[in-house]
A = this chain, B = another copy of it.
Amino acid sequence: MFDDVIWDKLNEECGVFGVFGHADAPQLTYYGIHALQHRGQESAGICASDGKNFSYHRGMGLVTEAFGNDELDHLRGHIAIGHVRYTTAGESKIENAQPLIFKYSHGNLALAHNGNLVNAKQVRHQLERQGSIFQTTSDTEVVAHLIARSGYDKIEEAVKESLRMIKGAYALLIMTEKKMIVALDPNGLRPLSLAKLGDAYVVSSETCAFDIVGATYLREVEPGEMVVIDEDGLRSERVSGNTQRAICSFEYIYFARPDSDIDGINVHTARKRLGRELAAEAPVEADVVTGVPDSSISAAIGYAEATGIPYELGLIKNRYVGRTFIQPSQELRAKGVRMKLSAVRKVVEGKRVVMIDDSIVRGTTSGRIVQMLRDAGAKEVHVRISSPPVMNSCFYGIDTSTRAELIAAKKNIEEMRQFIGADSLAFLSIDGLMRGTGRNSDHPNNGHCLACFTGQYPTEIYEEIEDESESENHCESLSKS
């Protein structure tokens, strides 16, 4: 919710975007990853192929920071894949920017990955014992090694074999000089969709990027599916027979852009329904409903509509707080200097306020916002969370370093309420979550991954995973209050 290092945060994941068969492939990819910017602000990259040679550029920061006209003009070809990477609290290095590009025995290879492999460490150790060297800490490099070592001449075979060796979450774009290969893990933990733009194919983490380039939505990439696109067109193949859709619930709750659809369900609409479910489960007498901007606005409107309490802008976000913002010193903050979020006194003064937020991670941010509302004169503050309590680590992309810090893993709801200083606190139930998103599926949990709420993981989890925390995590970070 907050991309602010001062406040704790739930980081967006990476985003991937690709085009096959369009004369403006690199430009379209620029606009595509720009539409996915909310999924990662640390680095951006595009690799293009003209059928013979690769041209590529990767840079730190936003797409608009990484790419100027020169960088974009330099990219040529009818195939292109792009990537945006999320911001970590730690060191961010250009070496980790994607797409990763390699040369191997059959030519060039570019990879763009959203997700996290749960057996990356095991595979990596094995590769190292066989003499492999690694230049990044990314699990994407593991995939490249597997492909190169497969021994298959055909890239499709090499990729297929490699995919069978990796476990976890992956929405993967692989490009050679002449082909684009798209792969999704057997649980479809990350969203990935296909579209057409004239004769060209487009693939994207979210459908909002299709709108931006004028492409027409075709379908979701299926769990366990590998799609090969080349001059002969598009071919699909099941890599895994044992698939079971388990899309990350947080895509609906927080990650995805409200104008995206996931499995045909619009995200804003789903969030409004989460707000309505929350209103049904946890109503309260109050004067105004306000959402924590930006991600909780939809749920707040849903809550307001369902309860009839007016929706107001009780909290406002300063749009211009970016990476170069000079944080106030402790001393100035102690004196009351605020940062990116302010409460609107005229709206909340003397009022009973329902504050809708999408989740609570560590609880510290929520506590501060409650206090901010009280400082602005709110008479009561009732916190309503449009998701269930997060009690377990995510091994599919969310930063495990914060596992011990999950407030819901340590406190019950009353303790949490006291911790954040609210007059009342309620979370959406898991049933409410499933009803709200509106998914209707034969898969368990209606095709949701609910592991962070329930502890039931859709894939095998490796024992050494404890150790994993020392390696650099791949693509998501859940360190919000």
Specify which of B24, B65, B212, B338 is in contact with A342 (CB 8 Å cutoff): B212
Residue interface mask A54-84, B partner, CB < 8 A = 1: 0000000011110111001000000000000
Q: Mark A310-350, 1 if CB is under 8 A from B, else 0.
A: 11110010111110111011001001111100111111000
Residue A135 at the B interface, CB < 8 A?
yes
Interface positions of A from 98 to 123, Cβ below 8 Å from B: 100-105, 109
Indicate the member of A62, A132, A144 with the most B CB atoms within 10 Å: A132
Q: Does A352 contact B (CB under 8 A)?
A: no
**Contact assessment for B68 and A31 in the assembled complex, using a CB-CB cutoff below 8 Å:** no
The complex is assembled from copies of this chain, and their number is 4
Whether A326 and B68, one on each chain, are in contact in the complex, defined by CB atoms closer than 8 angstroms, is: yes
A214 lies within 8 A of B338 (CB): yes
Contact status A266-B336, CB under 8 Å: no
* Residues from chain B with Cβ under 8 Å of A342 in the complex: 208, 211-212, 259
Shortest Cβ gap from A354 to chain B (Å): 15
Q: Nearest chain B CB to A50's CB is how many angstroms away?
A: 16
Known: A102-B134, A211-B345. A328 touches B258 (CB 8 A): no
Chain B residues closer than 8 Å to A338, beta-carbon distance: 31, 211-214
Contact B27 A332 (CB under 8 A): yes
Contact B94 A337 (CB under 8 A): no
Q: Are A320 and B102 in contact (CB under 8 A)?
A: no
Closest to A137 in B: B103
Pick the most buried of A131, A133, A134, A345: most chain B CB atoms within 10 A of its CB: A133
- Are A214 and B131 CB-contacts (below 8 A) given A24-B332, A64-B325, A318-B35? no
B residues within 8 A CB of A211? 338, 342-343, 345, 376
B residues near A318, Cβ cutoff 8 Å: 34-35, 37, 212
Binds B, one of A145-153, A239-247, A356-364, A440-448: A145-153
Contacts of A298 in B (CB 8 A): 313
Interface size on A, residues (CB 8 A): 88
The 8 A-B pairs of least Cβ separation, nearest first, read A214-B336, A266-B346, A131-B149, A105-B128, A259-B344, A102-B133, A64-B324, A37-B320
The chain B residue with its CB closest to the CB of A320 is: B37
By a CB distance below 8 angstroms, the chain B residues around A294 are 319
A190 on interface, CB distance cutoff 8 Å: no
Q: Could you tell me if A344 and B266 are in contact, using CB atoms closer than 8 angstroms?
A: yes
Do A347 and B266 touch (CB < 8 A)? Answer: yes
A476 at the interface (CB under 8 A from B): no
Contact between B258 and A336, CB atoms less than 8 A apart: no
Q: Is A170 an interface residue (CB 8 A)?
A: no
Contact B337 A31 (CB under 8 A): yes
B103, B258, B345: the one contacting A133 at CB < 8 Å is B103
Contact A64 to B326, CB < 8 A, known contacts A268-B347, A319-B38 = yes
